[in-house]
Amino acid sequence: MVERKVKVAIPCGMHIRPAGIISHTANSFKADSRIIFGYHVINTASILNLVASGIHCGDIVSVECDGPDEQAALDGIATVLQDSTLKQ
């Protein structure tokens, strides 16, 4: 299992567009992945859970991945979370 703390740079926070991109990215890997935000464990495969998470720009989250391609999955999800060009 790999883990990384990431500062969210998505300007409008977590909404449907970045949630869809994160979910698509996570589902393209065999590794299981999740985002830890406060006391919440968010399944990255679920757009609804991501949107409901309340993650805002500037929040620090922890991304965890476990599986055969865990490092690639972690890098992909972290890249989306740190993308300051994602708009509504």
Could you read off the pLDDT of 45-85 as tens digits, one per residue?
999 999 999 999 999 999 999 999 999 999 999 999 999 88
Q: E-strand spans in the chain?
A: 2-7, 32-37, 40-43, 60-66
Supply φ then ψ for residue 74, to 5 degrees.
-60, -45
Whole-number pLDDT of residue 31: 97
- pLDDT per position as a tens digit, 15-40: 999 999 999 999 999 999 999 999 99
pLDDT(86) > 90: no
CA-nearest of 51, 44, 65 to 10 is 51
Contacting residues for 81 by C-beta, under 8 A, at least 6 apart: 6, 8, 9, 10, 18, 22, 61, 63
Whole-number pLDDT of residue 88: 60
**Position 44 confidence tier, pLDDT thresholds 50, 70, 90:** very high
Whole-number pLDDT of residue 2: 97
